Structures are given as structure tokens and as C-alpha cells.
Chains A and B, each alone.
Chain A
Amino acid sequence: MKQGSTGAWVAMGLGVLYFLLPLIATFEFSLRLRRGEYSFDAYRSALGSGEFQSAFLYSATLAIVTIVIAIVIVVPTAYWIQFKLSWLRGVVEYITLLPLVIPAIVLVFGYIKLFNTESWLPLTGSAFGSDVLLTLGYVGLGLPYMYRSVEAGMRALDVKTLTEAAQIQGAGIGTVLFRVILPNLRGSLLSGAFLTFAIVIGDFTYASLLNRPTFGPYLQRVGAARAYEPAALAIMAFAITWGCMGVIQIVGQGGRASRARS
């Protein structure tokens, strides 16, 4: 492998160049707002706008609700698959992969067709209904990651012994799930949660087609209207993604972010 090493360094160097240049360029661009000198004015202007704050808050709120719903759906499922219904494992795994197989824009098209104002469940007819639909859509987008993360955590636990031990002490199934299993899954839940958070904050397609004022459509509008603020926002978006992934790495569990989607 000695002769390979130079080639490997060259390849790595070119890779670093391709991946770092856009980041450096974006940062440099974001500092150009003031003529003739570098400044953080673009950041001040972006962060100071009321629209930014409300859009970000909106997305963050949806993300938190999404994470809670995802946990409530995924944890019992993974628990029972591990404990009693292991013959269903394959089916459940295939279902959790669906959001990766079906493009997001096709899924949201399906939502709009199925839940339109004339349908049996007219979710798109009201703002609240659209929020519900959007949130459940996000649960779907995060499902592959949340399920895999929780499932890996569940495998590492001795679910049977934990359950039986708790039952001997007189615990009901709710107590088992929420006071015994859930606390033991902290790491898995955190990595699933942060990945879901990154997905929700980064979404553009769902929110703009369901007409909800989240962060993604806001970014897109700023991009069309302004010159330097978009670069500042891109740096912040990258920092958020990095932050989420960093937490996942620290939490461990190898919750690998493997699919780009949007």
C-alpha cells in the first residue's frame, strides 16, 4: 500500500477542496453586505427580521411535536416486535423504508389528493388541518431514521428480562414502556430526535406545497429577493445540521445520517 498513499493524499486533498470551498465562499459572501469591508451585517439583518424568527419558531415547534409523535408511534412498535411479534419484523422494516423509496414530492402530492377539501378527511381545508398533515408527513420523513435508531437501541436491551422484572413488581404495560424501556433508550431517542429535527428544519417541499409558513419556504423567498442574507442563512442552516449531527455522534449509537432528501 506504500505507493497508494500519495494517490490517496491527492484524492483526499481534492475532496477537501471541493467540500470546503463552497463553505468558505458562502461565509465570505455572507460578510460582503457592507461595501468595501467585511461585516456581520447580513447576519444581523437576517436574525433581526421578525419573519425569520417566526418562521424558525414555527419549524422548531413542528419539529418538537413531530419528535413526540414519532416516539409514541415507534417505541411501542419496536418493543413489541422485539418482545412478542418478531415475525412482523420484516414487514415493519419494509414499511419504515417506504419514505426513502417514495420521493417526498410524490408523498405530499398523495396527501393533497387524499386529504383535499372534498375528501372524507379534509385536512388541507384549514390551517390547523394542514399543520396536522404537515406534522404527520414529517413523522413519515423521519420514520426510517427514528425506527432504525430505536430498533438498534432495543436490540441492545434485554427487553424480556426487563419486562418480566417490572411485571413481578406489579408494573402494568404502560409503566413498563414509559418508566423502564423508554429511559433505557435515551441515546437512541436522542439521535433519532436530532435527525428528525434537522429534517424538519431543512424541509422545503412539504411546507411550501401545504402552504405553511415554515423555515424552508422562508429561506427560498429570501434567496429570491436578497443578495447577502441567503449566504448568512445558509451558514446558519449548515451550523444547525452540524450541531444535530454532532450531538448524534456524541450520543453514539452510530445513528448514521445516510440519505439526502428534499
Chain B
Amino acid sequence: MTGATLSSPKTGARAFSLAPWLGVAPFFVFAVLFLIAPTFSLLVGAFQTPQGDFTLDNLWRLGQPSIRNSYLLSLEVSAASSLLGGLFGLVLAFAAVRGGLPAWVRPTLMTFSGVASNFAGVPLAFAFVSTLGRMGLVTLLLDRGLGFNLYQHGFNLFTFWGLTITYLYFQIPLMTLVVAPALDGMKKEWGEAAESLGASRLQFWTLIGLPILGPSLIGAMLLLFANAFGAIATAYSLTGPSLNIVPILMFAQIRGDVLHDPNLGFALAFGMFAITGLSNLAYLALRARSERWMR
């Protein structure tokens, strides 16, 4: 403190006070130009006619069968992969945190989850083609070893379930990463306190465990939902246009205006933004709520 008063006479202090603003200015200019304005311009476009007048017609026309089916398919893929990913990710996190496994299991799982949750995109699609494609290792092993041909029994990697299984590869680890801290927050004392008051394990989980974990679990699954809804590279590379989820449709719209209507394209983006934005915001809100228990 004394140093500051010593070294900065009045004039120096005044010149210095502009510096903070100059320092943060690039950040805000960047944020406005490359995060806020582009999104805002799309949202405005969603409510405009080609002439620039206000309209709700674009949103209304999202209801046409082809676009509605895209949204439904996207919702289904996201719901399936976030529910299954949430379930399996929780089981893995639970096993690592409270399963009584050796101490090295947990950090190993967490490191691996950090990598795998980022392993989305084109290479992931390649990996699953090598595994469960027609010539994939697992397909061949099942066929030659057990005489069970997956593809003759209705399985196909390039369909809804194939895409969902592939998405699970980054959804499960993401869930594990996100819920492990919440499971940590479940203090041993709570279980002991409940037990000493005569509660059964079931009662502990239904009356204490789940109500406390609930917001974290729901929040994490919403995060997974948004994550799947916005993902494109994996699907583009795996199933291509044969599975016309919203991001794939939007990709085609950006490339070549397949809807023959730029403003309808903006409305498509608005719908996607609304769905992922709302589930992400709900996740952030629920996380803030559940952090109360982790102090």
C-alpha cells in the first residue's frame, strides 16, 4: 500500500486509470464482433421478411414436415444419448468415487474422460466404422466367432441407434466428469447420520441422496442434451444426409440454401439456438444451485 502511494503521484495515477479500460477493450470488442453480433444478427434475421420487415412467419414455417422431422430426429438422438450417457456416466462416476476401488482408478478414469469427451468429430466416426461397420472388428468377431451377423439382425451403424451409440463415446465421459464432483459432495456423515436415526439405505437415497443429487443429475443431462443437439462433425462424417438431424440440415442450408429461403435458414438457427441455449442455461442455473452443498 505504501509503495503505491510512494510511486504514484497524482498525475501518474490519473494516466494509469485509463489503462484498465484499454486493457479490457480488445476482449469486449472481440466479444461483440465475434460472439454477440453474429448470433444477434441471425436471431434478428429469423424475425424478418426478405425485405427486412418484422414477421413471425419464418418461425411458423419451421412446422413444415421436413423441418419438423429434422427437429424431432435431433430431439430423439439428443434425448437417447443424454439419457443413456447420463445413466452410464453416473454409474462409472459412482463406481470410481464410492465403489471402494483402488485409489488409482479414479484419476485414471478422469484423465481418460477428459480426453474422450473431446474426442468428437470426424475421427470418432472413423473409429466406429472400424468397430461396428460392416467390416468392423466387432462385427467380424461376432460373425466368425459366434456366427452372429449384426447386420442380418437389423443392426446398421448408419442409423439412429448407430449414431446414438457413437455419441455415447463422448457423452458418457462428459457425464462422468460433470457428476463426479457432485458425488464427492455427498458427505459420509450424512449416510452415518441417517443410519444412526434408523434410516434404511433405500430411505437414505430417496429422502436425502436423490433430492441433493437431483439438480446436479438433471443439470448434467441437460448439458449432455445440448452437447448432442449442437454436434455436427460426427454425424456428418458417419451418417451424412441420410440422417437429417437439424445441424446436418443447417450445414446444407449454409452451404447451398437448400431451403431456398435465407430467412427460413435463420429461423432454423434460431430454433437450434433456443433449444441448446435454454438447456445450457438450465444446466448453469442447476449447477449453481447444487454447488451450495459442495462447500
Q: Which of A33-41, A54-62, A151-159, A241-249 contacts its partner? A: A241-249
* Inter-chain contact B4/A220, CB cutoff 8 Å: no
Q: Any chain A CB within 8 A of the CB of B67?
A: no
For the residues of B in contact with A, the DSSP-based class is helix
- State the CA gap A97–B121 with chains docked (Å): 21
- Total chain B interface residues with beta-carbon distance under 8 A: 95
Q: Mind listing 23 A-B residue pairs with CB under 8 Å?
A: A5-B99, A11-B91, A11-B92, A15-B95, A15-B109, A73-B30, A74-B27, A101-B226, A103-B247, A105-B251, A106-B276, A108-B254, A109-B254, A110-B37, A110-B39, A113-B42, A113-B266, A204-B237, A205-B233, A230-B129, A231-B127, A234-B124, A259-B227
Q: In the complex where A102-B35, A103-B276, A164-B7 touch, is A219 in contact with B122 (Cβ < 8 A)?
A: yes
* Inter-chain contact A139/B273, CB cutoff 8 Å: no
List residues 105-122 of chain B with CB under 8 A from any CB of chain A.
105, 109, 111-112, 114-122
Please, which residue of chain A has its CB at the minimum distance from the CB of B43? Answer: A110
* Inter-chain contact A140/B35, CB cutoff 8 Å: yes
Note all chain A residues with C-beta closer than 8 A to B4: 164, 167
Interface of B with A (CB < 8 Å)? 3-4, 6-8, 16, 19-20, 23-24, 26-27, 30-31, 33-42, 45, 88, 91-92, 94-96, 98-101, 105, 109, 111-112, 114-131, 135-138, 168-174, 177-178, 226-227, 229-234, 236-237, 247, 250-251, 254-255, 265-266, 269, 272-273, 276-277, 280-281, 284
* Inter-chain contact A260/B227, CB cutoff 8 Å: yes
> A81 touches which one: B24, B36, B116, B178 (CB < 8 A)?
B24
Q: In the complex where A101-B277, A209-B254 touch, is A262 in contact with B114 (Cβ < 8 A)?
A: no
Q: In the complex where A22-B131, A136-B30, A258-B177 touch, is A204 in contact with B121 (Cβ < 8 A)?
A: yes
Please, which residue of chain A has its CB at the minimum distance from the CB of B250? Answer: A105
Q: Any chain B CB within 8 A of the CB of A178?
A: no
- State the CA gap A106–B88 with chains docked (Å): 29
- State the CA gap A203–B120 with chains docked (Å): 10
- State the CA gap A199–B7 with chains docked (Å): 44
- State the CA gap A23–B8 with chains docked (Å): 61
- State the CA gap A241–B203 with chains docked (Å): 44
* Inter-chain contact A106/B232, CB cutoff 8 Å: no
For the residues of A in contact with B, the DSSP-based class is helix
Q: In the complex where A101-B276, A105-B250, A230-B129 touch, is A202 in contact with B39 (Cβ < 8 A)?
A: no
Note all chain B residues with C-beta closer than 8 A to A241: 115, 118-119
> A12 touches which one: B95, B178, B230, B255 (CB < 8 A)?
B95
The 6 A-B residue pairs with the shortest CB-CB distance in the complex, in nearest-first order: A8-B99, A110-B38, A103-B230, A25-B137, A29-B130, A8-B95
- State the CA gap A7–B94 with chains docked (Å): 10
Please, which residue of chain A has its CB at the minimum distance from the CB of B42? Answer: A110
Contact with B along A76-115 (1 / 0, CB 8 A): 1101110111001000100101111111111111111110
- Give the distance to chain B from A98, nearest Cβ to Cβ, in Å: 5
- State the CA gap A151–B226 with chains docked (Å): 26
Please, which residue of chain B has its CB at the minimum distance from the CB of A24? Answer: B137
- Give the distance to chain B from A67, nearest Cβ to Cβ, in Å: 15
* Inter-chain contact A167/B251, CB cutoff 8 Å: no
Q: In the complex where A8-B101, A106-B42 touch, is A219 in contact with B23 (Cβ < 8 A)?
A: no
Contacts A7-B95, A29-B129 known; list 5 others, CB within 8 Å: A22-B128, A106-B42, A114-B41, A173-B16, A223-B237
* Inter-chain contact B34/A140, CB cutoff 8 Å: yes
Q: Any chain B CB within 8 A of the CB of A51?
A: no
- State the CA gap A219–B238 with chains docked (Å): 12
* Inter-chain contact B234/A262, CB cutoff 8 Å: yes
Note all chain B residues with C-beta closer than 8 A to A219: 122-123, 126, 237
Please, which residue of chain B has its CB at the minimum distance from the CB of A79? Answer: B23
* Inter-chain contact A139/B122, CB cutoff 8 Å: no
- State the CA gap A173–B21 with chains docked (Å): 13
* Inter-chain contact A165/B230, CB cutoff 8 Å: no
Note all chain A residues with C-beta closer than 8 A to B30: 73, 136, 139-140
